Amino acid sequence: MSETNLAVFVSGGPGPGINACISSIVKNASLKGWRVFGFKRSFKSFKEDWRTDIFELKWDQVSLITRQGGSFIPCVRFNPLSDSSSKKKFEEFLEEFRISKLAIIGGDGSSNLAVGVSKNYPEVCVVVCPKTIDNDLPLSSNTPSLGFSTARNVGAQLVITMGDDARSSERWFVVTCMGRNAGFLALGVALAAEAHAVIIPEEVPSGTSLSDLVDIVKKVILARKKAGKMYGIAVIAEGVLAKTDISFLSNPPRDDLGRLVYRDLQIGKLIAEELKKDLCDMIILHKDLGFELRAAAPLAYDLEYGITLGFGAVEFLAQNRIAGVVLRDDLRLKLLSFSEILDSEGKVKTRQVDLESDAFIVAKRRMNQWVC
């Protein structure tokens, strides 16, 4: 009987529940007699000498990591197919270690990478365990992605604390919340923490001026001031920046793909700075929210979710299901084929907040009630 070798990669940023997923993959694969390999720098190991980074994942290594935050396997953003040198090294690894199966834990970028690997190496079975605090993967039945629930909870607790400080010290916090181009995290955090305003990218038309965004928050601040309340919280999803006309900025920071670097150019900070000019008698501070959430220890939901996804990944790989995203839909494991989550250009679709959903309507109406 031929030996089955599985490689596990964690791609993108950290997310609560990753270690539960890794542990579950390794344990279930070990019970099947498979060998499991990981890398000290995940896919980025193929930029250099990958042989110095590879290690075998054993049961005893992962037995105590399940409940931990962060990622036992370092997670990085790198596509080994992006240049000939890295691609050659990746192929060397597949051949020398006779890798027939790949499990990738990650979000939309990782899913796009998995699609590329599947197309280039059809003999290798590839599955993705959907992990992202942005919750922007197009999973069926509005199933959340691994890590989102914990990130929302931790974010809400932090904003609740800011709210207590704001009330105690009579000040406003404008909070920029992670989420890329989807508003799920910002909306969930704002509603749970009873923030007084929230702006998400789905509700902002492209080309919106910064002054229009400032006016939205300013109206809430002035309404509360009129009611004798000189404090409050406004949550701004970072993806709003992509919808905003920032032509007044001479050289906004961008990454290698030409995308705006949200962490270096925070939309909430821009709004707060403008508010300070108009409301000189108010204390207005900016806080960035995101990195504090990604490596948090998982709540019970993401803990058992990660275990379930890891188990499912190995089960589908054992069936030689060629490629797809592992999903727990209504407590049942299923495999979404890549074709089900790709757009017409072959890229993973971005799930976004439905502005007609009750979840969005409730959030906005509640915040209108909290204005005064």
How does pLDDT run across 224-266, given as a tens digit for each residue? 999 999 999 999 999 999 899 888 877 877 765 566 778 888 8
- Same domain, yes or no: 248 and 221: yes
346 assigned to some structural domain: no
Sequence-ordered list of residues with C-beta below 8 angstroms from that of 205, at least 6 positions apart, any chain = 243
Q: Are residues 15 and 136 in the same domain?
A: yes
Lowest mean pLDDT among 40-54, 62-76, 143-157, 332-346: 332-346
Q: Which residues of 67-106 are buried (b: 16+ CB within 10 A; e: fewer)?
A: ebbbbbbbbbbbbbbeeeebeebbeebbeebebbbbbbbb
Span 323-344, mean pLDDT? 85
Residue of 302, 172, 285 whose CA lies nearest to 230: 172
3-state secondary structure of 361: helix
pTM of the model: 0.91
pLDDT of residue 338: 84
- The backbone region for 247, taken as left when phi is positive above 0, alpha when psi lies in -120 to 50, beta otherwise, is alpha
List the catalytic residue out of 134, 256, 264, 343.
134
What sections of the chain are H helices per DSSP?
18-31, 59-62, 84-96, 108-120, 148-169, 184-192, 210-226, 240-243, 267-278, 291-294, 300-318, 358-370
Per the DSSP assignment, residues forming a β-bridge with 288 are 176
CATH number at 238 reads: 3.40.50.460
Tens-digit pLDDT profile for residues 122-162: 889 999 999 999 999 888 888 899 999 999 999 999 999 99
Instruction: Give me the domain span that covers residue 30.
Output: 5-147+298-340
The Cα 204–Cα 223 span in angstroms is 22
Q: Are residues 48 and 189 in the same domain?
A: no
Specify the pLDDT at position 258. 63
Q: Is residue 106 part of a domain?
A: yes
Nearest Cα neighbor of 11 from 80, 144, 109 is 109
pLDDT of 261: 79
pLDDT class of 28 with cuts at 50, 70, 90 = very high
Active site residue 134: yes
What percent of the chain clears pLDDT 90, i.e. is strictly above it? Answer: 61
The rounded Cα 101 to chain-centroid distance in angstroms is 24
**CATH number reported for the structural domain that contains residue 93 in this entry:** 3.40.50.450
Q: What pLDDT does 294 receive?
A: 92
Greatest C-alpha distance within the chain: 77
Q: Are residues 99 and 187 in the same domain?
A: no
> Which of 2-11, 145-154, 198-207 has the least mean pLDDT?
2-11
**Phi/psi at 352 (5° precision):** -130, 165
pLDDT tier at 369 (50, 70, 90 boundaries)?
low
> What is the band of 115 on the pLDDT scale with cuts at 50, 70, 90?
confident
170 and 315 in a single domain? The answer is no
Do the domain assignments include residue 345? no
What torsion, rounded to 10 degrees, do the Cα atoms 8, 13, 14, 19 define? -10
If pLDDT is split at 50, 70 and 90, which confidence band does 75 have?
A: confident
